[in-house]
A and B are shown apart, each in its own frame.
Chain A
Amino acid sequence: MTHLGKLIFAGFAAAALLVAAQPAAEAKGIGPTGAAIVGGVAGLAVGAAIADSANRNKKKYYYNGYQQPYAPGQYDPYFNQAYSPVAGVVCYPAQRLCYNNGGSVNGTWTRRAFGY
């Protein structure tokens, strides 16, 4: 995605969170100013999340027990690595989803391969 694309996406995402945050804040009786503050915090969080996701070296936290799922030097191919459990089905471990050839998701193989 281009830098402009990221900015546009960030704008839409921030707007969506603001829209989501305001009614919730108002429902708690904190009023428009409080809602704006909540929205501002949400906006900052979205901006930080998008900036951090674009730079993996800036990651601040990982889930407990995290281990790199790829060998050294294999970072790039890992996220699109796939295998075919049967003819016509392709499963993607990083995404935790299986597809059928032809353009559809295979729920049965997704459950078998990834337990969900």
Chain B
Amino acid sequence: MNMMNILRGTSVALAIGFTATAAHAQAADDFRIDDAWKAALEGNEGILTEKQQAVVTGIAYAAAAALLCDGIDIDADKVAAATTAVLAEGPKGLTDEEQFGRYTNIMLMMGTAKGILLAEGALHKADFCAAATAAKTDVQSANFWK
């Protein structure tokens, strides 16, 4: 093997190596939009309990998937019941103004979460919708779809 072939072979090997590394890095990324989530969550700290945050995030995810994915539709009754429960379980002794402020914060959080999940889902729609379809058929998984 002459020097030219060695150089050529080395560059091909390097290119394959870089491609494999890039593919591995891509596969190992969950593509969550971290800065957006941090900004959304820290503004809402202490307003929602962990369970309430799970419900709000779950509704937002269900809504995003229903907008992006064929065959997935929101169950408005489930969403209404869960949202009402979250709104009803607030701190005791709030003034009317604080109560209304809390409702508004929660609705904004839900909308913000839905928006971020829409962006994440739209960027990787095939994977996002395949996972949502699988979750819909998981009978043990709580969801807000029909």
Instruction: Show the binding face of A for B, using Cβ within 8 Å.
Output: 1, 13, 16-17, 41-42, 45-46, 48-50, 52-54, 56, 59-64, 66, 75, 79-80, 90, 92-97, 99-108, 110-111, 114-116
Contacts and interface: CB of A to CB of B under 8 A. Distances in A.
Given A96-B53, A96-B58, A102-B27, 20 more contacts: A17-B104, A45-B103, A61-B46, A61-B91, A62-B46, A63-B91, A80-B37, A90-B30, A92-B32, A94-B41, A97-B61, A101-B30, A103-B31, A103-B127, A105-B65, A105-B135, A107-B131, A110-B54, A111-B140, A116-B54
B98 to A, nearest CB: 6
Which of the listed residues B53, B111, B123 has the most CB atoms from chain A within 10 Å of its own CB? B53
A106 B105 CA distance: 26
B92 to A, nearest CB: 6
B141 interface: yes
Contact of A116 (B37, B111, B117, B142): B142
Q: Is the interface of B mostly helix, strand, loop or mixed?
A: helix
Interface size class of B (residues with CB under 8 A): 35 or more
B37 A79 contact: yes
Interface of B: 27-32, 34, 37-39, 41-55, 57-58, 61, 65, 90-92, 94, 98, 100-105, 107-108, 111, 117, 120-121, 123-124, 127-128, 130-132, 134-135, 138, 140-143
Given A92-B37, A95-B41, A99-B30, A105 B94 contact: no
A59 B30 CA distance: 32
A60 to B, nearest CB: 6
B41 A102 contact: no
A48 B97 CA distance: 10
Contacts of A53: 43-44, 105, 108
A32 B52 CA distance: 35
A9 to B, nearest CB: 9
Contact of B57 (A45, A96, A101): A96
A52 B51 CA distance: 23
Contact of A105 (B47, B55, B107, B132): B132
